[in-house]
Amino acid sequence: MKKMNYILAMVALLFGVSTTSMAQETSEDYYPHNFISVQGGAQATLTHYDFMDLVTPQFAVSFGRYFNPKVGVRLHLQGYEAKGGFLKERFPGLTQDQAYTFKAITGDLDLLMNMSNIISPNRSSQRFNWILLTGFGVNYGWDFDEYKGIVKGMTAGNHFYVGPDQCGTKHSSYNGRFGTQFEYNFSRNFGINLELDANFKNDCFNLKSNFDPDWQIVALAGLTFKFGMKKKAPAPVVVPPAPVEEKPVVREEPKPEPKVEPKPEPKPVVKEEPLKETFFYTIRESDPDPETTLNKIVAWCNKYPQKGISIKGYADKGTGNPRVNVGYAKARAEKVAKALIQKGIDRSRMTVESFGDTVQPFAENDRNRCVIVVGE
């Protein structure tokens, strides 16, 4: 008993750690991705026959992909057994109600809509997802020996259903679907799900025709494995500055003051004003702002017409990827240069460079989406 309690405590601890770490991640850490899901459950067809007598086990497997946090698709294969039934009041030749079993499989292409991310796109936790789905596909049935045994010797004139004369040997039919799925992720790659679907099928899917589509209710529960997610960018390493050693104070004896001889007054020296301005950007932004910063740079260039300026663009490591970040850093630097040219500054005075996310000038990640302009 103690050993079992220890195992349960360890499982609870691991589960708590995994869900806590997921609460610190956003949808950008999970999408896009691929997934494989296996499910098991039961289904029943809605007819005049007793609902519970038509319940059969079902198994399903699906392969799919989420293109973004809101929309995905899957190929869903489901099947095993299905049931139909004959009511004795509709068939004078029967002394009791009779159900029959046959084999069936359904393949659907489904559209998945993650309503949790559609309703709340900026939510911080991805543990729970509510998904709506709709799709269309094909149903195929076989092994109708029990059905044939019941209708053997019956004619269209002595029962309500037209039966095999209407459907013949046709074993394939269309299948439409809409439903919902509730998903709980207990780690980055694994989750459990509960799915409820309503399927409408061609009347002949069970060989028994009453001239209306047949509806089928399905309940499934299963396990999902997710893969193909982008790797999380490592946090930038901030190197602390080296400590400055304090030198001992050496006291010197005062020396006699030398005689001060009058000197000619020196010419006044004009002290050059330094220039260092920084533009900061939000995610995916590349237009320089504010206007006052551009005007400061223009004023400095007009005051020192012989001086040049360096324009260096950067991107942060915490978002995007190296290929995308190179483009953002270059676009930011080039747009600052273009804005200065429009204000009358000659391009030959500018040195334009971009470093992508290979250089992080600031310790705070979001401040590294920037352009730094320095007077030379």
Contact assessment for residue 369 and residue 355, using Cβ atoms and an 8 Å cutoff: no
d(CA 55, CA 80): 12
d(CA 358, CA 316): 9
Q: 122 by DSSP, 3-state: which?
A: coil
pLDDT of residue 179: 96
d(CA 164, CA 144): 11
Q: Which residue has the tokens 């086990």?
A: 57
pLDDT of residue 17: 43
Residue type at position 314: Y
pLDDT of residue 3: 56
Q: What residues pair up with 58 in beta bridges, in sequence order?
A: 41, 80
d(CA 188, CA 22): 7
| Close Cβ partners of 161 (under 8 Å, ≥ 6 residues apart) | 86, 90, 91, 208, 209, 210
d(CA 2, CA 331): 63
Task: Tell which residue, 45, 60, 17, has the closest CA to residue 193.
Answer: 60
Element (H, E) at 333: helix 322-342
Task: Tell which residue, 334, 326, 316, has the closest CA to residue 370.
Answer: 316
Residue type at position 336: V
pLDDT of residue 9: 57
Query: Tens digit of pLDDT per residue, the chain (376 long)?
Result: 555 565 555 545 544 444 445 555 667 778 899 999 999 999 988 877 788 888 999 999 999 999 999 999 999 999 999 888 877 777 766 778 888 898 999 999 999 999 999 999 888 788 899 999 999 999 988 888 888 777 775 654 444 554 444 565 667 888 999 999 999 999 889 999 999 999 988 777 777 766 677 888 999 999 999 998 877 666 667 777 777 676 666 676 777 777 767 676 666 655 678 888 999 998 888 888 778 888 999 999 999 999 999 999 999 999 889 999 999 999 999 999 999 999 899 999 999 999 999 999 999 999 999 999 998 8
